[in-house]
Amino acid sequence: MATTVYKSATIVLIDDTEIYITPLKIKFLREFMEEFEKLDGIVSNEDAIIILSECARIAMKQYYPSIKTLEDLENSIDLPTVYNIIDIAAGIKVNEEKEEPVKNQAQDSGETWKTLDLVALESEVFLLGIWKDYEELETCLSMPEITAILSSKRDSDYQEKKFLAAIQGVDLDKQNGKSKGNEWEQMKARVFSGGGTSDPNDVLALQGENATKAGFGIGMGLDYKKL
């Protein structure tokens, strides 16, 4: 079971300043990924390293704003630290000891900015009504945080649908072929694929045989069990 929302690290500058770094907030990640996409037109390893260093400099806007230029960055950290920064900032992994070109390692790290439907993800999170506008949301949240919020929200939505279905005497887990051994993991998988479709509203099902099957009913109170 996961115990953290995201990876973090402490980097040490050449002057021994310690900086705690976490995934970039969306506000900075946008600029970071726009620079990263420039790798598409790069051939040489040296040019790829320059682009990744510029990505690290952009990340410093969140981590250590006093580093403003690429020269400032080069005077403050070494190349392995640059690679550590882009890994924590955006999940882009580069190992300088590998023979594979830096560009190929970086671009093979995962989903690209172009294929990510960020608008859809942000819109779903924005419906929680916590942020006054999208700019505030992007300043507050990183991609791992958005993912964790959506996971919790979708789990909660599915549990509500499961509860309403149970009122009608319908077991959504059983209906969808979920085994008892890994019921929780299977339910989460269904949540990420869109969840259930039942929309019952007959409160009279809270009595009689249906209530007995569901395990609760009018006058019977509520109970629960660990999955």
SS3 breakdown of the chain: % helix, strand, coil, rounded to 5?
55, 5, 40
Length of the chain (residues): 227
* 227: Cα within 13 Å, side-chain hemisphere: 13
**129: DSSP letter:** -
pLDDT tens by residue, the chain, 227 residues? 567 888 999 999 999 999 999 999 999 999 999 999 999 888 888 999 999 999 999 999 999 999 999 999 999 999 999 999 999 999 988 887 787 888 888 877 655 666 778 888 899 999 999 999 999 999 999 999 998 898 888 888 888 888 888 888 888 777 666 544 455 455 545 544 444 444 344 444 444 444 444 444 444 444 444 44
Based on its alpha-carbon atoms, the radius of gyration of the chain, rounded to whole angstroms, reads 24
In the chain, the amino acid numbered 115 is T
Single out the residue of 193, 95, 114, 202 nearest to residue 151, CA to CA: 193
- Model confidence, pTM: 0.68
End-to-end CA distance of the chain: 14
Tokens of 174: 């059983």
